[in-house]
Amino acid sequence: MKKLITILFALFLACAISTFFVGERIKMAFQYAIGQVNSKQIQVKLISYNKSLLTSKIQVKMTIPIEGQEALQFLIDSDINYYPYKAVLSHHITLLDPEMANTVASFFQTKEWFHSHQEVDLLGRVSGKIELAQGSVTHIQESLSSKPVTLDYQYDLNDQTGGFNFEWGGFYGDLENLLVDAKVFKVDAHFSLLKGTHLIDYQYTSQLEQCALTLADNDLIFKGVLLQGQSAVSEDRLTVDGSNHLKIESYQSDNHEFTDNNIRLSLSGLNLAALAMIKSDDGDPQVIDQALSELLRYGANINLQTLSSITPWGKIDGQLIMDIQPGSILTEAIENPLVLIDYINGELNLNLPTKLLYQADVGNFLQVGVMNGVFKQEQDQLTLQSSLDRGELTVNGEIIPW
């Protein structure tokens, strides 16, 4: 019996110690999160932190400045239950402006319009889910409605990696001359924070099922929008490579439909120090100019792999490869853009349908291009094949003198 009591006591002590460390881990996580969030755009203040052995209550005040209006202020109350291996948190939001609180409750038709559940384990792994209820409001000439919103997320406090899945069922708004009807928006992202910088490696995929806009009797309809991207720092931590792909299954405007729209763009060899300077900047124009100068001085590679669309007049297809050599200075380029010719090598290829020659918006420009040899007309296509190599410009096989 004594042995059993000893074992049970040891187990209880181990659980108590583990629970204590989980609680301390949560407190550290809150303090870290507050330090990371605070900025000119958002101010966060810890009001109270009351901790017992198995539970805690935390209250945080958040202030979001709004230009020309009173700042948005609200309290976040968090209830925490501790277990030997993890802590479970639930959060509640209270708007401090009574009029705004009533407006929000009326829109969602419930005071429990926000739900947040979170877990943190001993290893510093955070996971959770945030849910926003559906809501609607209708006035005499205006109406708004929103489908439910969910956000699932994971984050590792140790190696500062994580990801999230965001899904919004849709939104409808009829406001004076603007009508918006969006259906199913999703984002899936994974990221890794680079220690000592304000930059992250990331990969993301965002999807929009459909969005229709009506503004002043002009209709715009997007269907099947897909945006994917990634960014990664080189192994020597000197440069950053990134790529993005935008695909739109169909786009309609003024009774014209554009299908199979694709843009693929890659940027590589971007100077990491310059990008970090831009990300950490507080808006100082001199800092931005200096960072842009550094980006240009170290060079980069631009690759527009795909620019294509099936238009009402035919297919558009283009590619651009540009290699910016190190050494160029931003101030010189601004005063005389032609100095960049000595630092840029690349190719530009473009295929356009001939029918565009007779379109009011671009026809005159293209006709001038045909007369000057910039575009070559071949049956139902206008083609441009050009290259710039060590200051020598070639267009459709002809060297162009400067």
CA–CA distances in Å: residue 231 to residues 98, 197, 203: 43, 14, 7
* 144-180: pLDDT as tens digits: 888 998 989 898 888 889 999 999 999 898 877 788 8
In the predicted model, what is the mean pLDDT of residues 97-123?
82
Which of 58-62, 134-138, 318-322 has the highest mean predicted lDDT (pLDDT)? 318-322
Residue type, 322: M
Nearest alpha-carbon partner for 165 in 129, 192, 134, 132: 129
276: its two tokens: 């970090």
Tell me what pLDDT residue 210 has.
94
Which of 55-59, 195-199, 242-246, 271-275 has the highest mean predicted lDDT (pLDDT)? 242-246
pLDDT band at 189 (very low <50, low <70, confident <90, very high): very high
Locate the domains of the chain by residue range: 1-133
Tell me what pLDDT residue 282 has.
60
pLDDT band at 30 (very low <50, low <70, confident <90, very high): low
pLDDT band at 10 (very low <50, low <70, confident <90, very high): very low
Residue type, 114: F
Tell me what pLDDT residue 11 has.
34
Tell me what pLDDT residue 196 has.
67
Within 10 angstroms of residue 124's Cβ, the number of other Cβ atoms is 15
Residue recorded with tokens 């295929």: 351
Mapping DSSP onto H, E and C, the string for 316-355 reads EEEEEEEEECCCCCHHHHHHCHHHHHHHEEEEEEEEEEHH
Q: Is residue 42 predicted with pLDDT exceeding 60?
A: yes
In the predicted model, what is the mean pLDDT of residues 63-89?
80
Q: Is residue 2 predicted with pLDDT exceeding 50?
A: no
In the predicted model, what is the mean pLDDT of residues 26-39?
58
Least confident of 18-32, 106-120, 206-220: 18-32
Four-residue CA torsion sign, 179, 185, 191, 193: positive
Which of 9-13, 191-195, 315-319, 372-376 has the highest mean predicted lDDT (pLDDT)? 315-319
Q: Is residue 336 predicted with pLDDT exceeding 70?
A: no
Tell me what pLDDT residue 97 has.
82
Q: Is residue 344 predicted with pLDDT exceeding 70?
A: yes
In the predicted model, what is the mean pLDDT of residues 240-264?
92
pLDDT band at 332 (very low <50, low <70, confident <90, very high): low
Tell me what pLDDT residue 280 has.
64
CB-based contact 104:88 (threshold 8 Å): no
In the predicted model, what is the mean pLDDT of residues 374-389?
88
Query: Which contacts qualify for 142-151: CB closer than 8 Å, 24 or more apart?
Result: 142/174, 142/175, 142/176, 143/172, 143/173, 143/174, 144/107, 144/172, 144/173, 144/174, 144/175, 145/171, 145/172, 145/173, 146/170, 146/171, 146/172, 147/171
223: its two tokens: 């269907």
